[in-house]
Homo-oligomer: A and B are copies of this chain.
């Protein structure tokens, strides 16, 4: 399997997480942490369920991965997320020493990986993260568009 096909396979797992979020009436964003070609954590947004403003897919997946590895340093790990990380999540990815971030849809309002601000740019942090943007972007974005359209329509009923 090519590296791209392998990476897309992880993004498809993140998409499955995002679909679970939509089914639970959470914002459909999913994230998967991968090390040595194995998924070691996967999560979706649970802000409403947990009543926790920090319960974004990425933050939950990072915490799950650290718990599994027994180490706050996620050396050698990559994260796949269906939506461009916000500032909180980009910051957490840096703190956890993640090697690479693959994301799907651009986050037009809150994107912190280049769209609104770029926390992964050259700020002189003590760690650099490789960023791959736009992976399965249409599919990732469509889930979000459909979710918010359905919410708006429900509010009108």
Contacts and interface: CB of A to CB of B under 8 A. Distances in A.
Tally of this chain's copies: 2
Contact of A48 (B55, B72, B88): B72
A70 B72 CA distance: 28
A117 B96 CA distance: 19
Contact of A63 (B52, B72, B95, B123): B52
Interface residues of A, number: 39
Given A70-B51, A72-B48, A112 B91 contact: yes
- Tell me whether chain A's interface is mostly helix, strand or loop, or mixed: loop
Interface in A69-116: 70-74, 86-92, 94-97, 109-110, 112, 116
A87 B90 contact: yes
Contacts of A67: 51-52
Nearest to A72: B53
Interface in A2-42: none
A76 to B, nearest CB: 14
A92 to B, nearest CB: 5
The 4 closest A-B CB pairs, nearest first, are: A88-B91, A87-B91, A53-B96, A53-B72
Interface of A: 47-48, 50-55, 59, 62-63, 66-67, 70-74, 86-92, 94-97, 109-110, 112, 116-117, 119, 123-126
